[in-house]
Amino acid sequence: MPLLLEIDWNFFHLEYRGVKVSEYILFAGIVVATLLLKRPVAVLLTRISSSLAARFSYMRHKGRIRTMLFKPMERLLQVVLYFVALEQITPLLDSVSLHRIILSKKRIDITLGDLTDHIFLFLFILFFTRVLTRFVDFIYYLRMGKAQMEKNFARMQLLPLFKEMAKLLLWIICIFWILGSVFHVNIPALITGLGIGGIAIALAGKETVENFFAAFTILSDKPFQTGETIKLGEIEGVVERIGFRSTRLRNLDGSAYIIPNQHLVSQNLINLSSRETRGMKVIANIRYGITHEKLTQLITTLKETMHSMPLVKDPVDIYIETFDKETFQLVIAYHLPHPLPGTEKLNALKRDINLKVFEVISGHATMGTPVGTS
């Protein structure tokens, strides 16, 4: 107590360039506290957010939202605390002026305080928008997980598009907010100008606009859904994602196809997932010289062999397709169930069938072997 009485409290009321010593100390204290406590406080805020989110979702999602929110929350917290620290020395910042002469030779005075205010406002808007977009990602994660559990393919197809639209809207609002608050742009006039220039932009981005509306055509008409197998010309694959501009397919060999949405709605498309059977065929080259009786016997034996295989479905058709110089082609067409039952694999099943066909053909004289399948 005597020590406190001996302190010269008037020292803290001394001013330097309009700022009290106590305010300098408070400024330094906030900066140091921010550097030391930003991580623990950010962890605390994300835990509170995840706990609130857990009330509306499963408890197992708490860790996920912490991961999504921690970094943007930490940066937003830093911006706010550093701004609070600089507010303690506002008179000092306002005493420093920056001069700018524009084209009209008019001089504009800008204080360092105004400059820092605008910088921090810009950073606040940016990181605040980032936090909101992470919340959108988390909501998408929850809804998509629930749709996958319920096997709701229509929702699985719509959710990625809604997520991108929500994030795009947030960033558009962010840009207009920055332009209006930081750069003092006349937003109504800007929107009016964009309305006039929007026609030119739409014409310049005609393909992008077409793909955008084609996405809504796909989602409303539902010619296919996420997870289904489709075929467009020579391209065949499983639909992974339907986006604003394009749809992504994954082929059996792992290759990814990125197809503009406009192509999917303007061309003939086959939805292979809606079929109950898959058409297959084996092509065998037969040398000339075989008699009609032996060829008829071969065809009969092949049909019996194909019908004896449990997974082969009707119709089974065997016919002559083309005649070459030394051979003619015998086509064995058959069907397999789609999807295949149990753990059956398509390539393994085709191999077994081809070997059976080879065995039958090899038992007849003057005959070739299967040379290709499709």
Is the residue at 353 inside a domain? yes
Residue 345's φ and ψ, nearest 5 degrees, are -110, 140
* Tokens encoding 149: 């559990």
Choosing from 250, 273, 296, the residue where a domain stops is 273
In 3D, which of 315, 222, 227 has the Cα closest to residue 269? 222
Same domain, 163 and 257: no
Q: Which residue has the tokens 């609002």?
A: 173
Tell whether 89 and 117 lie within a shared domain.
Answer: yes
CATH number of the CATH domain containing 349: 3.30.70.100
The number of domains in the chain is: 3
Classify 132 as helix, strand or coil.
helix
DSSP labels for 78-120? HHHHHHHHHHTTHHHHHT-EEEEE-TTS-EEEEEHHHHHHHHH
pLDDT of 170 reads 92
> Among 273, 297, 324, where does a domain finish?
273
The encoded tokens of residue 124 equal: 């606040």
Let me know if 321 is exposed, middle or buried by CB neighbors in 10 A (0-12, 13-18, 19+): exposed
Is the CB of residue 334 less than 8 Å from the CB of residue 312? yes
Segments of the chain with pLDDT less than 50 = 1, 3-5, 58-59, 365-374
Do 123 and 12 reside in the same domain of the chain? yes
Asked whether residue 258 is domain-assigned, the answer is: yes
Evaluate whether residue 202 is within a structural domain.
no
What does the angle CA 28 – CA 31 – CA 37 come to, to the nearest 5 degrees? Answer: 130
Domain co-membership, 69 together with 151? yes
Cross-strand pairs, 328: 286, 323
Query: Is residue 311 domain-shared with residue 322, that is, in the same domain?
Result: yes
Residue pLDDT, tens place only, 238-281: 888 887 788 889 887 788 888 888 888 888 888 877 777 878 88
Residues 264 and 355 in one domain: no
The answer to whether residues 269 and 284 belong to one domain is no
Residue positions counted in the chain: 374
Same domain for 235 and 358, yes or no, is no
Runs of H (alpha helix) within 7-96? 21-54, 62-87, 90-94
Q: Do 34 and 91 have their domain in common?
A: yes
Task: Give me the pLDDT at residue 371, please.
Answer: 39
132, HSE (Cβ side, Cα atoms, 13 Å): 16
| 39 in any annotated domain | yes
* pLDDT for 65: 67
147, 163 contact by CB (below 8 A): no
For all residues of the chain together, what is the average pLDDT?
Answer: 76
Helix (H) or strand (E) segment spanning residue 241: strand 235-242
Give the pLDDT of residue 367: 45
Residues 41 and 90 in one domain: yes
Structure token digits, residue 318? 């065997």
92 Cβ neighbours under 8 A, 6+ residues apart? 16, 17, 18, 19
Of 184, 201, 235, which residue sits at a domain end?
184
Vertex 138 angle, CA 133 and 139, to 5°: 95
> Which tokens go with 54?
């857990």
Whether 27 is in a domain gets the answer: yes
199: in domain: no
Do the domain assignments include residue 200? no
> How far lies 129's CA from each of 70, 76, 244, in Å?
14, 10, 21
Residue 241 lies in domain: 209-273
CB-based contact 370:358 (threshold 8 Å): yes
Contact indicator for 77, 113 with CB cutoff of 8 Å:
no
Where residue 220 sits, what CATH number does that domain have?
A: 2.30.30.60
Q: Does residue 91 share a domain with residue 147?
A: yes
pTM to 2 decimal places: 0.56
> Does 363 share its domain with 232?
no
What pLDDT score does 125 carry? Answer: 92
> Is 201 inside a domain boundary?
no
